[in-house]
Amino acid sequence: MSFRSVRYIVAGAALVAGLAAGPFHVSAQQVPGPAARAVAAADRWEPAIAKFEAQDKVAPPPANAIVFVGASSIVRWNLAESFPELGPKAINRGFGGSVIADSVKYADRIVIPYKPRIVVLYAGDNDVEANATAQEIADQFTLFDKKVHAALPNAKIVFISIKPSIRRWKWIDTIRAANAKVKDYTTKHPNLVFVDIEKQMLGHDGKPNPELLVEDGLHMTPAGYKVWNEKLRPLLK
């Protein structure tokens, strides 16, 4: 079992225990041995999270806004250009290279304090390359939902489906399975929306459209973000 895989097992096992005790929280102290070290490994993002918190002290974001959180596709998203109508109410809290468990871990620091009306999550892309299973990714989304809605029951959480890309095409079956599981979950729980962007990001040959991706075959061009903008905009009004 890989070191990264342990993190998914730890977080999944914590779901029952944590929710039973109240608002969900995972800490290294709650699990022993290698599992504790696996959870603690997420602290590599502490400088990025602390930087967000320092910014918030200087210029507190408005409440009732829209928080975008997740991995590098969020980091690279120019929200001011994509959604000028939102102004300062579009808050970017992406931290590149993160897996979905990291968004769960830090939600109480870079999502919940803002009391947003909408949370846009894009995560799971990096998980696939870390050999997470579709079920592990879906379980992490469940954790994110439970944690955010325990504090903000009326907030809407929008999950953008894991995108097809050239670099990660060999994992497309896992990507599709994870998306299907998350989509199924969103249909059975309130205040959740699944945004499927796969079809719009494929070419006529059924493979990822290279015009939507930069040279690394993973991150998106402005044309790729235009696809996301058009799918998401109606949900943000």
Map out the domains of the chain as residue ranges: 47-236
pLDDT at 41: 55
Kindly tell me the burial class for residue 180, based on how many C-beta atoms sit within 10 Å of its own C-beta (0-12, 13-18, 19 or more): middle
pLDDT at 44: 86
Give the whole-angstrom CA distance, residue 143 versus residue 141.
Answer: 5
Q: Say if residue 12's pLDDT is above 70.
A: no
pLDDT at 36: 36
**Percent of the chain whose predicted confidence (pLDDT) is above 70:** 82
Return the amino acid letter for 175: I
Q: What are phi and psi of 213, to 5 degrees?
A: -125, 145
The answer to whether 185 and 203 are in contact (CB under 8 A) is: no
First-last CA distance in the chain? 44
Q: What are phi and psi of 76, to 5 degrees?
A: -80, -5
Q: pLDDT (tens digit, 9 = 90+) per residue, 143-157? A: 999 999 999 999 999
CB atoms within 10 A of CB 230: 12
Q: Which residue has the higher pLDDT, 15 or 180?
A: 180
pLDDT at 26: 40
Q: Share the mean pLDDT of the chain.
A: 87
Q: Say if residue 28's pLDDT is above 80.
A: no
CATH class of the domain comprising 47-236: alpha beta
pLDDT at 66: 98
Which positions ≥6 away from 227 have C-beta within 8 Å?
Answer: 197, 200, 201, 212
Q: Are strands 156-160 and 118-122 parallel, antiparallel or unpaired?
A: parallel
CA pseudo-torsion sign 143, 182, 76, 12: positive
pLDDT band at 237 (very low <50, low <70, confident <90, very high): confident
Q: Say if residue 207's pLDDT is above 60.
A: yes
Q: Say if residue 8's pLDDT is above 60.
A: no
Q: pLDDT (tens digit, 9 = 90+) per residue, 72-95? A: 999 999 999 999 999 999 999 999
The answer to whether 175 and 129 are in contact (CB under 8 A) is: no
Query: Bridge-partner residues for 70, per DSSP?
Result: 94, 122
pLDDT at 112: 97
